[in-house]
Amino acid sequence: MRTTANKLAGHLLAATLVLTSLTLPLAASANDYMLRDSSEPTGGEMLADAFLLRPFMLVGSVITVATFVVTLPFSALGGNVGESADKLVIEPLQYTFVRPLGEI
């Protein structure tokens, strides 16, 4: 049991280091991003959006939809089912699937 926990901790640490190293170039180019006039995203921004942000937003969308389902009786009692559906279901799903690639 102890070795499994150590292996899991090692894998989590490695994944954290990999994700951190992937975001460093984005942070370094943040100043360049603010100075440029073009509204089109760069290739790096598209890659970061496709492989980092979208998967996390997909997981977040699943969590918010589950939260909506769990809180649906309370929303119905409060009379704000439409409002909670907009915030917990529609907005996260639109941000994940509808917005253009690289538009962060």
Q: What is the pLDDT along the chain (104 residues), one digit of tens a residue?
A: 678 777 777 777 666 665 566 555 555 555 555 555 567 889 899 999 999 999 999 999 999 999 999 999 999 999 999 999 999 999 999 999 999 998 87
Main-chain dihedrals φ then ψ at residue 103, nearest 5 degrees? -85, 95
Q: Residue 51: what residue type?
A: F
Model confidence, pTM = 0.59
Close Cβ partners of 18 (under 8 Å, ≥ 6 residues apart): none
Close Cβ partners of 68 (under 8 Å, ≥ 6 residues apart): 75, 84, 85, 88, 89
Q: Where exactly are the structural domains of the chain? A: 1-37, 38-104
